[in-house]
Amino acid sequence: MAKAKTIPTEQSVETFLDTVSGEKVRDDCRAIVRLMEKVTGEKPRMWGPSIVGFGSYRYRYESGHEGDICLTGFSPRKQNLSLYVLAGFPGQEAVLGKLGKYKAGKGCLHVKKLEDIDIGVLETLINKSIGFLKMKYPEK
């Protein structure tokens, strides 16, 4: 079985954020850190070389594949901010309808800048996603 690439590292989150291009993007990243830290009660940690994650859970697919990943997190990409907040909870589409301007991937949102979205709705997405993941993958 292939070894997971997205694992916690000892890299400093602050050092990583200092390397992000553009002052506005860095400011948005720091605002996301504050929000996710508030919602999760966890300190940020680097997962792989470019994901800032909070908390963790152990998943197991029907195929038998399993691993650990952050409960929520984000990554500043070249074109946008990728926010890992879409766990597929019931009612997710209704919440997304109130969010603002974004594009959705399988498990993440892509936003150009935080001012394009409603931060209160983002907080709701994070809370509901975390609750759903904890229910779906309870700690053993």
DSSP 100: B
Does residue 24 belong to any structural domain of this protein?
Answer: yes
Q: Return d(Cα 125, Cα 102) in angstroms, integer.
A: 13
Q: Return d(Cα 130, Cα 139) in angstroms, integer.
A: 13
pTM to 2 decimals? 0.92
Does residue 85 belong to any structural domain of this protein?
Answer: yes
- Place 98 in a pLDDT band, splitting at 50, 70 and 90: very high
**Residue-wise pLDDT tens digits, 14-43:** 999 999 999 999 999 999 999 999 999 999
Sorted by sequence, the CB contacts under 8 Å of residue 125 that are 6+ apart come out as 85, 86, 92, 95, 96, 99, 109
Does residue 2 belong to any structural domain of this protein?
Answer: no
Does residue 21 belong to any structural domain of this protein?
Answer: yes
Average pLDDT over residues 53-78: 90
Give the model's pLDDT for residue 106: 86
Is the model more confident about 35 or about 2?
35
Does residue 3 belong to any structural domain of this protein?
Answer: no
User: Which of 139, 140, 85, 88 lies closest to 117, judged by CA?
Assistant: 85
- Place 2 in a pLDDT band, splitting at 50, 70 and 90: low
Q: Count of domains in the chain?
A: 1
Does residue 126 belong to any structural domain of this protein?
Answer: yes
CATH of the domain at 115: 3.90.1150.200
Q: Return d(Cα 41, Cα 56) in angstroms, integer.
A: 12
Does residue 7 belong to any structural domain of this protein?
Answer: no
Average pLDDT over residues 6-10: 90
Average pLDDT over residues 59-88: 91
Average pLDDT, the chain: 93
Give the model's pLDDT for residue 140: 57
SS3 label, residue 26: helix
**Containing structural domain, residue 101:** 13-136
Token reading at 40 = 């999760």
Residues of the chain above pLDDT 90, percent = 81
Does residue 116 belong to any structural domain of this protein?
Answer: yes
